[in-house]
Amino acid sequence: MTIPEFLTYIVIFLAVYVQVFLLFTYFEHFKEIKALKREPLPDLVNPPKVAIIVPCWNEEKTVHGTIASILALDYPADRLEVIAVDDGSTDNTWQELLKYENHDRVRIFHKENGGKHTAINFGIDNTDADIIGGLDADSFVAPDALRRMIGVFQAHPKTMAVTPSLIVDEPKNLLQFAQRAEYNMSTYNKKMLSLLGAIHVTPGPFSLFRKETFQQVGKFRKAHNTEDQELAYRMQEHHLPIEHCVNAYVYTRSPNTVKKLYVQRLRWIYGFIQNTIDYRRLVFKKEYMNFSFFTLPSGIISIIAVVYLSLVFAYDAVLFIVKKITQYSIAGFHHGGTIHLHFDWFYINTQTVSLLTIFLYALLIFSIVAGTRLNKQGNGLNWHIIAYILIYSVIAPFWLLKAVWNTIARRGQPAWR
């Protein structure tokens, strides 16, 4: 066995281990997960006061929709307020917000531009609500989402943050349908991490926090443009539980071009790497258990696996191209080679690595199907899975490689958009 072959086995072994771990968790909590699908809307006793902060930076076109979706939430009106913070917009966002100047449930603020996390912190400083959350201007909340998430807080008094399930809103092109499959898979992954007590990100769109969270660990910090991830790391460090509420749906607009997706994912992956480096003291520490022994290592393994396998693939592709060029230069168009027009099972690749790769893809497809069902997006078996596998197999290595390269080369953090 050559060194590259040995490394390939190691990478595949770790990748299979991660997926089997998630699958094991799924079946370990199967009854609980199955019951979630029929979970009734919770009756809230003494509903806590909730503040949803809407950080706005040049959101003149979407801010009304965002605020309207919050005001339409199924929640006692006197216990819910919207705090819209204009973060130094250069368009008419502030003029649009002024329309809510006299609204009894919406408070508006204007501040100099300082980044999204400063706008949210500004909102946190200006509310006395028990539960505080944020909602990006590109996302919309299902009417029952807040009630369900508050239900989780009330059922689990020690829970300090609750995250929703994100669904791609109205996908229009192939790329967005692929992202819908990916987001559905994320719901599966996040629920499993939630069951493991090991969530590593509280997404910007509608993650809710008890106000004590900020008192205990501080507010949002500037953190490689992934402040929502850094806060989750900090909460894990302080043993503040984070739960995922599967039935709370938030619809978010997804990038509609490869370039926009690339920029977004580069920011996410770079942020993950940097935050993990910043919090490397949490890795393999028994006191942080699953977050320390599973979440962080599995994220690192995923990046290493994709980077390594894509490099191997690129190397093979270069060899193939060189071979074809050599063939044409020697033999012209009579390059020969045996072309098997008939099917012969003999040539099906049945090497151990290939079989394990098939197994890995099967687990991946299972996670998408299970996530799709959790998101109530159908039975899960649809062409979005194929779109996801084909598109992401090609483009994901690029942002992963770039994020790794930026880390190695100590480049600056990627732009927001």
Provide the binding-site residues for another protein, judged by CB under 8 A.
Answer: 13, 16-17, 20-21, 24, 28, 293-294, 326-327, 330-332, 334-338, 346-347, 349-352, 355-356, 359
**Residue closer to another protein (CB basis): 304 or 356:** 356
Nearest to 183 by CA among 162, 169, 194, 200: 169
Q: Shortest gap between Cβ of 317 and another protein (angstroms)?
A: 17
Residue 96 near residue 63, CB atoms below 8 Å? yes
Smallest gap from Cβ 294 to another protein, in A, equals: 8
Give me the least distance between CB of 282 and another protein, in Å please: 17
Which residue number, 21 or 262, has a Cβ lying nearer to another protein?
Answer: 21
Whole-angstrom distance, CA of residue 315 vs CA of residue 313: 5
CA nearest neighbour of 217 among 235, 199, 204, 202: 235
Nearest approach, Cβ of residue 302 and another protein (Å): 16
Backbone angles phi, psi at 279, to 5 degrees: -110, 30
Residue 348 to residue 54: CA distance in whole angstroms? 55
Q: How far is the CB of 295 from another protein (least distance, A)?
A: 13
Q: How far is the CB of 342 from another protein (least distance, A)?
A: 10
Please state, in angstroms and as integers, the Cα–Cα distance from residue 270 to each residue in 257, 293, 407, 412, 416, following that order: 20, 21, 7, 10, 12
Distances (CA, A) of 161 to 3, 239, 243, 392, 406: 45, 12, 6, 31, 31
Q: Which is nearer to another protein, 11 or 168 (CB)?
A: 11
Q: How far is the CB of 365 from another protein (least distance, A)?
A: 16
Which of 359, 361 has the CB closer to another protein? 359
CB count, 10 Å around CB of 125? 11
Run of H or E residues at 374 = helix 352-374
Token digits of residue 39:
């979970």
Nearer to another protein, 324 or 376 (CB): 324
Nearest approach in angstroms of CB 240 to another protein is 20
Which single residue is written with the structure tokens 């106000």? 211
Total residue count of the chain as it appears in this document: 417
Please return the burial class of 46, using the count of CB atoms within 10 Å of its CB with bins 0-12, 13-18 and 19+. exposed
Nearer to another protein, 351 or 379 (CB): 351
∠ CA 323-324-329, nearest 5°, is: 100
Q: How far is the CB of 362 from another protein (least distance, A)?
A: 11
In the complex, least distance from residue 216 CB atom to another protein, rounded to whole angstroms = 25
Buried b (16+ CB within 10 A) or exposed e, 188-225: bbbbbbbbbbbbbbbbbbbbbbbbebbeebebbeebbb
Between the two ends of the chain, the Cα-to-Cα distance in Å is: 45
Using the minimum distance from each CB to another protein, give the nearer residue, 40 or 337: 337
DSSP element (H, E) containing 168: strand 161-168
